[in-house]
């Protein structure tokens, strides 16, 4: 449940870097996604035609503030997005490090506080830091979006234990793995850990066949969610026979 909205499909799909508008349209359909993200600052020359494509997809649009490095940039971009797309949803990014694209935690919390007080429903792109997560919740966020790894790196869940700790700590808060996912198996692992959704872009958009890859991610995320609900077997240090020896006949 994201700000009162229940999603059936837990894959959120970015819309940048696709080879063509038609491939983007087909990938969205193949993924079955109900939420697509778009950056106003990196929208490119497509303009209103690109926005029409997004609206015609039937998906909920989650605008984002990608490319913003200050609180003022992010807040201004969010207000523009709300006016253009007529939605209170905003994926909040305030980048603090040029190489890793790691969010600036101080600016992120400040921008989140401003936007939440302005009536936005904020999806903050953050790290697995528990203290930052607490501050974002205090600022009014009802969702957290920790990175799996740096944006576009394809490294998957680089700090899996920290993410597992975060999932346990924020029980009841929707958590979405955002960034760094490069393979369907990585997305499935996130869902097996109990995360509520996965947001990705590059792994699909830059695949040799984006449409097939979008379908693969949808299947992986559904499988991971099903496995988590079914209950994964615990990891053991020692072997345990699947066939009991008690009650078996003794030969000899």
- Residue 202 among known ligand-binding residues: yes
Q: What is the Cα–Cα distance from 252 to 243, expressed in whole angstroms?
A: 20
Q: How far is CA 19 from the centre of its chain?
A: 22
Residue 47 annotated in ligand binding: no
Contact 46, 18 (CB under 8 A): no
> Per the annotation, does 9 bind a ligand?
no
Residue 77 labeled ligand binder: no
CA-CA-CA-CA dihedral for 110, 112, 117, 119, to nearest 10? 160
Name the token pair of 125: 């792109």
CB 11 within 8 A of CB 198: yes
Spatial CB neighbours of 101, under 8 Å, sequence gap ≥ 6:
95, 150, 151, 152, 179
Task: Please provide residue 149's backbone torsions phi and psi, each rounded to the nearest 5 degrees.
Answer: -165, 175
Determine if residue 201 is labeled as part of a ligand binding site: yes
* Whether residue 135 lies in the annotated active site: no
What is the rounded CA–CA span in Å between residue 28 and residue 31? 5
Q: How far apart are alpha carbons 8 and 34 in whole angstroms?
A: 8
- Report DSSP state, residue 240: -
Selecting among 33, 38, 74, 91, the annotated active-site residue is 91
**Active-site annotation, residues:** 91
Binding residues for 1-deoxy-D-xylulose 5-phosphate: 152, 179-180, 201-202
Annotated binding site: 152, 179-180, 201-202
């Amino acid at each position: 449940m994201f700000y009162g909205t229940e999603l059936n499909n837990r894959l959120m799909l970015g819309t940048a870097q696709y080879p063509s508008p038609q491939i983007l349209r087909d990938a969205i359909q193949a993924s079955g996604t109900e939420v697509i993200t778009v950056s106003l600052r990196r929208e490119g020359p497509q303009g209103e035609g690109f926005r029409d494509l997004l609206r015609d997809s039937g998906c909920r649009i989650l605008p984002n503030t990608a490319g913003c490095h200050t609180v003022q940039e992010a807040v201004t971009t969010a207000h523009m997005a709300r006016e253009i797309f007529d939605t209170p949803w905003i994926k909040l990014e305030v980048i603090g490090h040029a190489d890793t694209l790691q969010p600036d935690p101080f600016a992120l919390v400040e921008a989140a506080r401003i936007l939440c007080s302005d009536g936005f429903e904020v999806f903050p792109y953050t790290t697995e830091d528990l203290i930052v997560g607490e501050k974002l919740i205090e600022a009014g966020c009802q969702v957290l979006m920790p990175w799996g790894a740096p944006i576009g790196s394809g490294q998957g869940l680089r700090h899996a234990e920290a993410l597992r700790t975060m999932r346990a700590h924020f029980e009841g808060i929707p958590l979405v793995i955002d960034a760094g996912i490069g393979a369907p198996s990585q997305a499935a692992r996130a869902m097996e850990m109990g995360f509520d959704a996965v947001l990705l872009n590059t792994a699909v958009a830059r695949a040799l066949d984006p449409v097939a890859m979008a379908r693969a991610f949808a299947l992986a995320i559904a499988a991971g969610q099903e496995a988590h609900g079914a209950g994964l077997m615990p990891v053991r240090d020692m072997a345990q026979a699947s066939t009991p020896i008690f009650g078996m006949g003794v030969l000899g």
